Structure 1
Amino acid sequence: MDRASAGLIVAAAPPPLLPETPAIHEIRRAVRAWLTEHDATTVVVGLSGGADSAALTAAAVAEADAVHAVVVDHRLQVGSGIVAARAVEFAESVGCDSVRVQAVDVTGPGGLEAAARHVRYRALDEARCGDPVLLGHTLDDQAETVLLGLGRGSGLRSIRGMAPFDDPWGRPLLGVRRDTTRLACEELGYRPYEDPHNSDPRFTRVRLRSEVLPLLEDVLGGGVAAALARTAAQLREDGDALDDAAARVLSDALVPEEPCAVPQGQSLDVFGLASAPPAVRRRAVRVWLIGMGASSPTDRTLRAVDALVGEWHGQGPVAVGRGPQRGTRLVVARRRGTLSVEFVDQQRCADD
């Protein structure tokens, strides 16, 4: 479905000129750099009406050829429709080519934050018509993400932060402070929406923002948020290099399927994996497991599978996920120098 037939509000007036003020200039430079690096001319912006997304939307209109705003109404508070309508007015005032309100029902596992994020991303993905979606995550959001990852203790993947572009999600403002987006809204004469969830101490991220980061800034003498963001950028580069190495190891270790064999998924040659460093080997195993149907294998699971390669002493299969039927498990077993996956009865898995 194209935008013309999707019930969008199309802005008719030409975009106004933005004030040439410091905060707006900084945000425009960040957006311009992102658009240039990713060769993007038409973008969708996820607009909540808050300071970050509002400043991003205004800068995107000034820098991109076409900007389509999508306002996701989570309907979690009384009056959310009024907030959405005000966001529409803002999008029209800065000259978005179109703006659309998408109302959603926040349901699903993982708590309110996770459920809201899931339905929001799904709504944005459905509305983007093949274009990249710009999100208003700032340097401060990146710092909070790194701290959350450190708390989970799940390795480099969880503390490398958010990527500037994780197709289709673009984040041009990861080098911009939250105070700058607020100042940009002041320069625009716009009073941003303040989501009450962003000050609710029941949410872990809110306490990180209001308690932990200020304490770290005080104890360590400032610059903590920027340092955490730099750390995330460095770790992303390291992680990308390790992922590339793991892809080569996995390609070499895959055992070709026999033409007449019953398709069960490709096996891995243990000896092809054994020569790789453990960090690279576990990454290769992780990609393989996900391809075989395991969902987000944990560090404990990966290490148990890796032990079938690097610490082999005849141990039994390792459970890596649920099977398609009640009472079954997806397991990895080592037989005759190869790792393979199969579905087994849960009781058999426990007995092994």
Structure 2
Amino acid sequence: MAAPVPLHPARRAVGEALAPGELNLVGCSGGADSLALAAAASWHHRKESGPHAGTRVGAVVVDHHLHPRSVEISGQAVRQLKGLGLEPVRIVSADVDCDSRQGPEAAARTGRYAAFRKAMSELGAARVLTAHTKDDQAEQVLLGLARGSGTRSLAGIPAARGPYRRPLLELARADTEAICAHHGLTWWEDPANSDPRYLRSRLRTDVMPHLREHLSPTIADSLARTAAIAAEDAAYLESQAKEIFPTLLEDPDASGALRLQLKGLRAQPPAIRRRIVALAAVAAGAPAPSSERLQAVERLASGSRSRGPVQLEGELEVYRGARGTAEYGKLILIPPSSG
């Protein structure tokens, strides 16, 4: 007997993710996941009563121009989205820097989210819904394990961040295909998803099938649970760090340099200490530091022979104040404009 099509769980999850009474956009690639998301979202479009009365659902089809048939694929997606009743539906081109040092997958993601922001601005949308599934979440946790990046990385893909919502994280990829089949939708299989040049593709086509066969057939569920637990732990640690951070921060000087009191910083558990340093780096105008860079700052703060500098992302330099000076007992973060 075929498994039931999870229409109700998908619609319920999407309904919880929508901004009531506002325009919400479904980010669509033409694949099964995003078309299933669109189908579930269409059920809430222009409801005349209930909690979603007045809520509108449109879609943005992002064309990365990475496939020779991208125009045709985008057009097919638009026709199906309009057939579901979504309005407005727009195609937005993503600017993908294929020569970027961050790699092709990350470059495509950067271009995609820039396209989302552009569509939100032009259409006046409150939120963008993306179609990440339980399988994507499992793959993300494995990537975090491989990188050794800590709790936040193990937390995987957040269900909500800023204006973005990911309501299908409880559904499997097989569920989205079943929803598409139920609605008579034709989805596109991106060949990049099985291209062994990409790490995520190798996880999807080689590693996950191996784990399902030799470790557990429910490995995706286990990894998704791990992500949920890690997300709760990370959120608590980050809230604690945000409370403590202002108590250790001295008023910045005219140069924009930030100073943290070392005695109070050293008194914190390592998990809190690293997060405080990350908050300070972002406050100084730099990107969030990598785990490797945070460890280097932690060694500096704990009293290593070297006083620095430790170089962080965004050309931010971190020093420890020298004995016998007014900076002694402080960790100093100097943005490039202050140098």
TM range, smaller chain: 0.7 to 0.9
The answer to whether structure 1 residue 239 and structure 2 residue 234 are counterparts is: yes
Report if aligned partners of 1:294, 1:330 keep a CA contact under 8 Å in 2. no
Tell me the SS of whatever aligns to 1:22.
coil
Q: How does 1:65-214 map to 2 (within 5 A)?
A: 65-107=55-97, 108-128=100-120, 129-214=124-209
1:47–1:70 Cα contact (<8 Å) kept: yes
Aligned residues between the structures = 315
Q: Distance in 2 between matches of 1:147 and 1:186?
A: 29
> What is the Cα deviation at residue 130 of structure 1?
4.3
Residue aligning to 1:331 = 318
Q: Is the 8 A contact 1:320 1:331 kept in 2?
A: yes
Query: Which residue number corresponds to residue 50 of structure 2?
Result: none
Q: Which runs of 4+ in 1 moved over 6 A?
A: none
Question: Aligned equivalents of 1:198 and 1:205: distance in 2?
Answer: 8
**Separation of aligned partners in 1, 2:294 and 2:116:** 33
Matched residue type, 2:92: Q
* Structure 1 residues 105 and 294, CA gap change in structure 2 (3 angstroms): closer
- Is 1:47 the counterpart of 2:28 in the alignment? yes
Which runs of 5 or more structure 1 residues have no equivalent in the other structure?
1-20
Report Cα offsets for 1:111-130 as digits up to 9, x if no partner. 22111111111001111134
> Counterpart amino acid of 1:57?
A
RMSD of aligned residue pairs (Cα, Å): 2.1
TM-score, with structure 1 as normaliser: 0.84
Offset, 1:134: 0.2
Equivalent AA in structure 1 for residue 128 of structure 2: V
Q: Secondary structure at the match of 1:124?
A: helix
Post-superposition offset of 1:70: 0.6
SS in 2 for 1:49: coil
Which of residues 44, 51, 67 in structure 2 aligns to 1:63?
44
In the alignment, structure 1 residue 33 sits paired with structure 2 residue 16 = yes
| 2:311 maps to which of 310, 320, 332 | 320
- In the alignment, does 2:206 pair up with 1:219? no
Matches of 1:319 and 1:223 in 2, distance apart?
Answer: 43
Unaligned runs of at least 5 residues, structure 2: 46-54, 322-326
CA deviation vs aligned residue, 1:281-314 (integer Å, no higher than 9, x gap): 11001110122233332223212222333x3155
Q: Give the Cα separation in 2 of the matches to 1:307 and 1:80.
A: 49
Residue 293 of structure 1 aligns to which amino acid in structure 2?
G
Deviations 1:189-241 (A, max 9, x none): 11211111112121111111111111111122311101101110110100000
Identity among equivalent positions (%) equals 39
Q: 1:84–1:101: 8 Å Cα contact kept in structure 2?
A: yes
